[in-house]
Amino acid sequence: MSNDEIINLLVKQKLNELTLEEEKKLANLSQQEKNICLVQQIKSLVPLLEDYTRYSQYNSDYYRYKQEVLRKSQCGKRKRMRLSHLYKYAAILLFPFLLAISIYYLFFADKSFNQPIPPGKELAILELPSKEVIHFSKGAVKLYKIDGSEMIVEREKVFEFLKQKQTFDQSNYSTITVPVGGIYSLDLSDGTHIWLNSNSKMKFPLTFNKKERRIWIEGEAWLNVAKDSIPFIVSTQFQDIKVLGTSFNLTAYPEERSITTALVSGRIELTSLVSEEKTVIDAGSCVRLDKNTGETTVFEDDAQYYGLWHMGIFKFREQALEDIVRSLQRWYKFDVNYQSEAVKQMRFSVVAFRDNDLDSFFDLLCMTTSIKYKRRGNRIVLAEN
C-alpha cells in the first residue's frame, strides 16, 4: 500500500469516516515496521488534520449553497417564458454569428482550453556515465541487456541490475533529474532512501567508495541516511552537509535566495563554501544559509513541516503569495500574472493535498482568504478580492 493510501485512511479516521474493514486495515498497516515512522509523523500533524476537517465542512456547505442557487435559477427560467417569442426573433438574427463562433471553437480553438491542470506524478530521468538515458515513471522500468534485448525490471531493482550490467568507475557519477511536475524516490547502494521533489536533480555513484559517501543535490530532497562509519556528504553549490545517519530535508533551489536544512533526527555539520563557516545542529533544529554572504542562521522549528511534500501535502505558513506560487509552479505546469506588486507580497497560510488539481488549490485559497483568481488555459491571474 502506498503512503498516499495510508494518509487517506488516517484522515478518514480523524473525520470518523472509516468503515469497519478500513479500521482493520489501518490497524494492520500501523503495526507493520515499514509504516511505523510514517504513521507517527501523520498522527503528530493534528493541526493539519483539523484544518482539513474544517475545510471539508466548509466545502460541503459551499456546494449545498451552489445547488440551492442552481435550483432557484431554474425557477427563474419559468418566469421568463413569457418573453420567449422575443428571444425567437433574436436567435434568428444571431444564428450566423453564433454558427461562426461554434465552428471556430470546434475546429480551431485549443482543445485544452480551461481543462483541469493536473497535479504532478512520479517521473524522473537517469543519465548514466555511459550517457545511456533511462526514463522512470510509476511502476516497472524498461531496460536493455548487454545483447540489446529488452527486459522489464521492478523499479526497486533497477540500480542492482545496472551495477551487474557493467563495471562503473566510482569516480563517475550518474545524474537523476526530476522535471517540473515530477517526484521520485530511490534507494542508494548503502541503503539511504531519498525523495526528490519537482525540478530537482542529484548526482551520485551507483556504488560508494570506502572513504566517503558523497552526492550532489540541486533543488529539494528528503533524505533518510543509512547509518555507517563512512561519512555521508551532501554537496550543493554553496554548502556541504556531513552526516553519519539521520533524516533531514534540504531545500536548495537555484532561484531561491537561501538554502534551508531541517533536521528531524541525528546530527549534521554544515560547511559554507562561501565563508567556510562550520555549523553543527541537532535534531529539531533548522539552519538557513544566505547564498550572498555565506552566513548561516540556526533556528528552532518543527523540522517535519519542511518534508511534508514527500508525504503528499502542501503546507504554507504565513508565506508571501509569490513564494507560494513559485512552489506550486514546480508541481503544476502554469503561468501567472499578478494584479499588482502588493498582491505578490500578501501572506497566507494554507494546507492542501498535492494529488488534487490546481483549481482545487486556488478554490480553497479564495474561500479562506481575500484573493480571487481567473484561469484561461494554463494562465492564472491573481488579484485582491
* Domain ranges, ordered by start, for the chain: 1-75, 121-307, 313-384
Statement: 313-384 belongs to CATH 3.55.50.30: yes
Are 248 and 286 within 8 A, CB to CB? no
pLDDT score, position 157: 64
Cα–chain center distance at 161: 29
Report phi then psi at 364, rounded to 5.
-65, -45
pLDDT score, position 340: 92
Q: For the domain 121-307, what is the CATH code?
A: 2.60.120.1440
pLDDT score, position 328: 96
pLDDT score, position 46: 44
Residues of the chain with pLDDT under 70: 1-4, 7, 11, 14-15, 33-114, 139-171
pLDDT score, position 109: 44
Residue 227 makes CB contacts below 8 A (sequence gap 6+) with: 244, 245
Of 178, 176, 132, 211, nearest to 310 by C-alpha is 178
DSSP, collapsed to helix, strand or coil, labels residue 101 as: helix
Distance of alpha carbon 208 from alpha carbon 206, whole angstroms: 7
pLDDT score, position 164: 58
Q: Which residue has the cell 499588482?
A: 340
pLDDT score, position 309: 94
Phi-psi region of 114 (alpha: psi -120 to 50; beta: other; left: phi over 0): left
Distance of alpha carbon 203 from alpha carbon 212, whole angstroms: 15
pLDDT score, position 24: 79
Residue 307 burial (CB count, 10 A) = 24
Task: Give per-residue pLDDT as tens, 2-54.
Answer: 566 776 777 677 667 778 888 778 778 777 766 666 666 666 554 454 444 44
